[in-house]
Amino acid sequence: MSDNTYYIQGILDSNENVITDIYIRFFPKVVKFILQNNGQQVDAEDIFQKVLLQISARIRIRELQTINSTFEAYFFTACKNLWRRELNKKKRVTNIDVKELVSEELDMAHALLEQERWELFKEKLEKLSDNCKEILTLFLKKVSYADMVKKMSYTTETVARQRVFKCKAKLIKIIKADDRFDKLKL
C-alpha cells in the first residue's frame, strides 16, 4: 500500500493509529508555520483538524481520486491555504460592520471549494512550458519588465511583454476550457 493510500484510508476510517501517525509526523510543521504567521497553537490545532475533514469530504463527496504529490506536500499546502484564508477572513470581518453569521460547516464547505479552485489554477499553471511558467511567475510577483529582460535574457522589454501576454493568454484559455472552471462559477 502506498503512503498516500495508507493516510487516505486511515482518514476515511477514522483510524486512530493512522491519525496519530499523521499528528506526530505533520503537526509540528503546521504549528511552526502558523506560529510564524501570526497564529497560535490553538489555531494550528483548528487548521489541522479542518484539513483532515476537508480531505475526507473531498474523497467522499468530490471524487478526489488520488493525490498526485506526496501526502505530506498536499496536506501542508492545504493547511497553508486554509490559514491564509483565515487570516484574510479576519481582515475582512474587521472591515465590515455587520458580521455575517455563518455556521462552521458552511464555512468549511466554501473553504473546500476555494481550495479546489486554487488547485485548478495551480494545475493549469504547471501545464505550461517551463519558460512560460518562469516568466509568468516573475510577472505575477510584480517583477519589473526591465528585470525580467535581465533574468530571462530577452533582448528588449517589448519581447518580454509579448512573451508574458502570450503565456498568460494561453493559461487563461486552458483554465476557461476546463469543465471545473464553469462548474465553480456562478
Partner 1 sequence: MDQNRETYHDEIDAYLRDELSLEEKALFKKSLQKNPELLEEFRIHQELFLQVDESGWTHQLFSPDKKEVAELETYFRSEEALKLKNTITKIRTTYNRKNASSFFSNKTIISILVAASIALFVVLFTMNSDDSSEELYAQYSQWEDLPSLTSRSDETQLANGQHLFEENKFEESYNLFTSYNDDNSKIKPSLLIYIGLSALELNKYEEAISYFDQLIQSDAVDQSKGYWYKALAYLKQDKREEAISVLEIIRKNETNYKYITSKELLDKLL
Residues interacting with partner 1, by CB under 8 A?
11, 14, 16, 19-20, 23-24, 27, 31-33, 35-38, 40-41, 45, 48-49, 52-53, 56-57, 60-62, 80-81, 84-85, 87-89, 92, 103-106, 108-110, 112-114, 117-118, 121-122, 125, 137, 139-143, 147, 164-165, 168-169, 171-173, 175-176, 183-186
Closest separation in Å from C-beta 73 to partner 1: 11
CB closer to partner 1 out of 5 and 40: 40
Instruction: Transcribe the chain into DSSP letters.
Output: --HHHHHHHHHHTT-HHHHHHHHHHHHHHHHHHHHHTT--HHHHHHHHHHHHHHHHHHHHTS-----SS-HHHHHHHHHHHHHHHHHHHHHHHHH-SSPP---HHHHHHHHHHHHHHHHHHHHHHHHS-HHHHHHHHHHHTT--HHHHHHHHT-S-HHHHHHHHHHHHHHHHHHHHHSHHHHHT--
CB closer to partner 1 out of 11 and 67: 11
Place of cell 509540528: 28
Closest separation in Å from C-beta 167 to partner 1: 11
CB closer to partner 1 out of 36 and 65: 36
Closest separation in Å from C-beta 166 to partner 1: 10
Closest separation in Å from C-beta 84 to partner 1: 5
CB closer to partner 1 out of 3 and 150: 150
- Report the distance separating Cα 82 and Cα 54, nearest Å: 10
CB closer to partner 1 out of 6 and 118: 118
